[in-house]
Amino acid sequence: MSADADLAACGTTVRPAGDGDAVAGVLPRWVALPETTEDVSAVLRVAAAHDLAVVPTGAGTMLDWGPPPGRCDLLVDTCCLNEVLEHAAGDLVTRVQAGVTLGSLAETLASQGQRLVAEPPLEGSTVGGMLATGVAGPLGFRYGTSRDLLIGVTVVLADGTIAKSGGKVVKNVAGYDLGKLFTGSYGTLGVITEAAFRLHPLPADSRWVTAPFPEAGSGDAPDLAGTLAASVLEPAAIELDRPVPGGGMLAVLVEGVAAAERAKAVQDLMGADAEIGEEPPSWWGRLPGDDLLLSLRGLPAALAATLRVVDAQGARLALTPHVRGSAGTCDLRVALPTSSDPDRVADFVTAVRDGIRPLGGRLTGVTLPPDVAVDFWGETGALGLMRRVKDRFDPGHRMSPGRFVGGI
Amino acid sequence: MSTLQRLTARLGEILDRDSVITDPVRLRTYDCDGLTYHRATPGVVVLPESAEQIAAVVRLCDEYGVPFVARGSGTGLSGGALPRTDGVLIVTSRMREILEIDIPNRRAVVEPGVTNLAITEAVRDRGHYYAPDPSSQQICSIGGNVAENSGGAHCLKYGFTVNHVVGVELVTPQGEIVELSDRDPGYDLLGAFIGSEGTLGIATKITVRLSRTPEAVTTVLAAFTGIEGGGRAVSAIIGAGIVPAAIEMMDALAIEAAEAAVHCGYPEGAGAVLVVELDGPHAEVDHQFAAVERICRETGAFEIRVAASAEERAAIWKGRKSAFAAVGRISPAYIVQDGVVPRTALPEVLAGIDRLQEEFGIRVANVFHAGDGNLHPLVLFDDAVPGQGERAETVSGRILDLCIEHGGSITGEHGVGVDKSRYMPRMFSEEDLDTMQLVRCAFDPKGLSNPGKVFPTPRLCGEVPGVRRGVHPLVESGAAEQF
């Protein structure tokens, strides 16, 4: 039987792909719309039988993140896996299908005074998309990122095998944690279909304290972000927005019953220019750009030195990098101006990588046009082991091929 | 000569004479971990001092096809470090150095044999601590904590080892030295490795996150006439949107044992005590304390004590932290379980445990991390009474069944080890377990690293089928290289 006939017979809606379905410029032939984990399994069994390359997607807000797939026959769209399966408020736990959007989940949880402390930077993103990209928001500083909040996961492997790990209790060390392995795996190990998370109570009150970011290097500006991060005032997030070198703002979130009181103490630390607000600044938790975006993870104490490297290379190549992200964890995103010259972008990436490596920093691509000729992910410590994991989970290399480190 | 003997003969190429133990009497001191009813005398014990030595020993094991088991302080409670009679036991107790303390980056780099508490002691005067606090923290090793993904009383608010380790250098089961860092791109192998119970290799260097010592800590002891009142208080505290650092509960039998052992002076007549610890900024803790006190009174606490000093705080914790050992005062033998249930199912599960006690004539003392539903039922028995050990074992298994029926887990922090591997199929399907073992096959295709733990049946790894295909278009066009 042909792949067409088998897909038509597998019990799940499958439609021909259109231009809007392209994955980073690569057009699939079909789009499957499963409604259950079993549907996903049936679709993937057909894909296995016909050697089809598969890319999972949720709302598609981050589908262009990562290099384009080497090939892509079938898009598995999880939009119909959109049920909140359980919200056990008394247990501070929720179980959801992967296609649930974080916005609708937040509404459900808020009705019981709770939240999932994970906020992807784009509106409409799904639980599955957040997990597949491992994208973190400002609150990662205090609460950890999605990998820390995920307590159970159901996945479908390339051959259609349905597997779960973890469960729906917060404390659980039975078996390997497949959730950690799949979080941030960019669809290269299988399709995430269900997830369970630990929740937190919504804070009684919140305050944002903002002040100009004191640039180190121009003299003896104190390491304000470091002071705040180590402060007993326990900020929930410390974010930096720096559209141009030297023109940054620092915003600090304090949450809880005594937020107003603590915000005043934070304000004292941040200096005379600091202002307290009851709403976040407009840029809070948003991406600094979309089509030339990089991710920079460094050591917090090296924040100033890391920014100096970024500035110096930006100046050398006449590119103005816009840096935004967590100053508390030094988990930043760097956007370059749209339609920058691809050779200069490649030069920038390579030079910044070299410059921040001695500082313990790593720079990876998030979205880069295909004409930027640079290793998208950069070096990593355990590529051999990662390849071995990929080979075991997806021996035919059909899941999001070529989208991950080392061409995985 | 056996394979193990041939391997042992070559250990001298790697280690000093006094770092290899073959004397049967000395070998026997390593025959169990904290779970003493599983025993096996190791074939040979080595005491390496570096990652290179561990890697060389592991490469020998790989060459000869001999299994190996890593052991830290040997305090584990699931038999995770149970040796193999036909294998090598690699003990990390000589790797006890704190290599680096980096307060500005809030991290420390330590060798695997460093004890959990030693990290906190090294950074306490600089206002920091290492958050995970298993009850054995004075002696348990960080390497063991990484293997087991250890928790502790305070993981309710702060999470487990996996949330506080940001880098690991490990020796893979094939003897390579590999670095895993949370900053590196790629699969979260760090997250997969932590909690893999020694089956994916041996951690040789660990980078931990340090936490800021909270500005204020308030510890409250609330006494109730029965366990139901304590349970209601826990639900109400969580329902009020408070996440305490810890909420611990002990029932009457556990209190009796603790009193007999350490004279902790808990309120007389208490059918249950609740220990609630709040920490954070002063202003926050003050608000939360007022709420917790009110809730405890409303749910029937007949006495509430608040620790006003570090000494008083230690006194409150003394009874709780000594509970396991204390049970030895009221029973010749006992089995500790580590099941977890959703917090809201606690009353039903505790009632179920009561029924089991009656049905089998076996006493169970309950000590638990009430905030996250992690039970530590201590199933008491007298091994001199024929049949009691078996009945205790049955009760113990039934308790795990209760946990699974209520959507919980067979282990919250002690690990599966040898002790609970037979219960894994009650919680996971064959496909689940086979899929987990794909990770095992990737790290350890020969299955030599701590075999027989976690999984009831090993998966035969075999060769990786299939071929590489799908060269990236950029590579094909010569525009990019793959690294």
Instruction: Write out pLDDT tens, residues A295-327.
Output: 999 999 999 999 999 999 999 999 999 999 999
Contact B288 A257 (CB under 8 A): yes
Which residue ranges make up each domain of chain B?
3-91, 98-212, 220-405
Of the candidates B372, B373, B376, the residue with the CA atom closest to the CA atom of residue B364 = B376
Contact B470 A53 (CB under 8 A): yes
What's the pLDDT score for residue B462? 77
Task: Tell me: pLDDT of B325 over 90.
Answer: no
B205 chain-A contacts, CB cut-off 8 A: none
Contact B464 A71 (CB under 8 A): no
Contact A405 B341 (CB under 8 A): no
Task: Tell me: pLDDT of B168 over 90.
Answer: yes
Q: Who among A173, A258, A376 is closest to B149 (CB)?
A: A173
Contact A180 B181 (CB under 8 A): no
Contact B162 A170 (CB under 8 A): no
Instruction: Write out pLDDT tens, residues A221-268.
Output: 568 999 999 999 999 999 999 999 888 999 999 999 999 999 999 999
Q: Who among B162, B188, B472 is closest to A402 (CB)?
A: B472
Q: Which whole number is the average pLDDT over A75-99?
A: 97
Q: Which whole number is the average pLDDT over A65-78?
A: 97
What's the pLDDT score for residue B459? 82
Please tell me the class of the B98-212 domain.
Answer: alpha beta
B428 chain-A contacts, CB cut-off 8 A: 164-165, 174-175
Confidence of residue B480 (pLDDT cuts 50, 70, 90): very low
Token pair belonging to B41: 């005398």
Q: Which residues make up the CATH 3.30.70 domain(s) of chain A?
A: 206-277
CATH number of B220-405: 3.40.462.10
- Nearest chain B Cα to A402, which residue? B472
Q: Which amino acid is at B449?
A: S
B104 chain-A contacts, CB cut-off 8 A: 223, 226, 300-301
Q: Of all residues in chain B, what percent carry a pLDDT higher than 90?
A: 85
- Mutant choice from A27, A155, A171, A399 vs B, greatest count of B C-beta within 10 A: A171
CATH number of A1-202: 3.30.465.10
Contact B105 A386 (CB under 8 A): no
Instruction: Write out pLDDT tens, residues B349-403.
Output: 999 999 999 999 999 999 999 999 999 999 999 989 999 999 999 999 999 999 9
Q: Would you say domain A206-277 falls under CATH 3.30.70?
A: yes
CA dist list (Å): B199 to A356, B34, B83, B110, B140: 34, 19, 13, 21, 19
What's the pLDDT score for residue B468? 42
Mean pLDDT of chain A: 95
Task: Tell me: pLDDT of B340 over 60.
Answer: yes
Q: Who among B148, B178, B341 is closest to A385 (CB)?
A: B178
Q: How far apart are CA B86 and CA B67, in angstroms?
A: 7
Task: Tell me: pLDDT of B473 over 70.
Answer: no
CATH number of B3-91: 3.30.43.10
Q: Who among B172, B186, B239 is closest to A405 (CB)?
A: B186
Instruction: Write out pLDDT tens, residues B221-273.
Output: 999 999 999 999 999 999 899 999 999 999 999 999 999 888 889 999 999 99
Q: Which whole number is the average pLDDT over B312-328?
A: 87
Q: Which whole number is the average pLDDT over B103-129?
A: 97
What's the pLDDT score for residue A118? 87
Q: Which residues make up the CATH 3.30.465.10 domain(s) of chain A?
A: 1-202
Contact A230 B280 (CB under 8 A): no
Contacts of B386 (CB under 8 A, 6+ apart): none
- Nearest chain A Cα to B188, which residue? A181
Long-range pairs for A307-312 at CB < 8 Å and ≥24 separation? A307/A215, A307/A216, A307/A217, A307/A242, A307/A245, A308/A216, A308/A217, A309/A352, A309/A355, A309/A356, A309/A359, A309/A361, A310/A334, A310/A352, A311/A245, A312/A355
Instruction: Write out pLDDT tens, residues B296-319.
Output: 999 999 999 999 888 999 989 988
Task: Tell me: pLDDT of B159 over 70.
Answer: yes
Q: Who among B195, B374, B428 is closest to A177 (CB)?
A: B195
B287 chain-A contacts, CB cut-off 8 A: 256-258
Q: Who among A231, A302, A392 is closest to B438 (CB)?
A: A392
Q: Are A65 and A86 in contact (CB under 8 A)?
A: no
What's the pLDDT score for residue B481? 45
DSSP string, A64-99: T-SSPPS--SEEEEGGG---EEEEEGGGTEEEEETT
Contact B431 A374 (CB under 8 A): no
CA dist list (Å): A222 to A203, A303, B9: 30, 12, 59
Contact B428 A392 (CB under 8 A): no
How many other CB atoms are found less than 10 A from the CB of residue B429? 12
A·B CB contacts under 8 A: 298
Of the candidates A80, A59, A70, the residue with the CA atom closest to the CA atom of residue A24 = A70
Contact B106 A163 (CB under 8 A): no
Distance to chain A for B158, nearest Cα, Å? 8
Q: Of all residues in chain A, what percent carry a pLDDT higher than 70?
A: 98
Residue with tokens 């220019």: A273
Of the candidates B113, B222, B110, the residue with the CA atom closest to the CA atom of residue B167 = B110
Contact A362 B163 (CB under 8 A): no
pTM: 0.95
CA dist list (Å): B81 to A76, B54, B135, B274, B452: 43, 16, 18, 33, 11
Of the candidates B219, B211, B214, the residue with the CA atom closest to the CA atom of residue B278 = B219
B186 chain-A contacts, CB cut-off 8 A: 377, 380-383, 386, 404-406
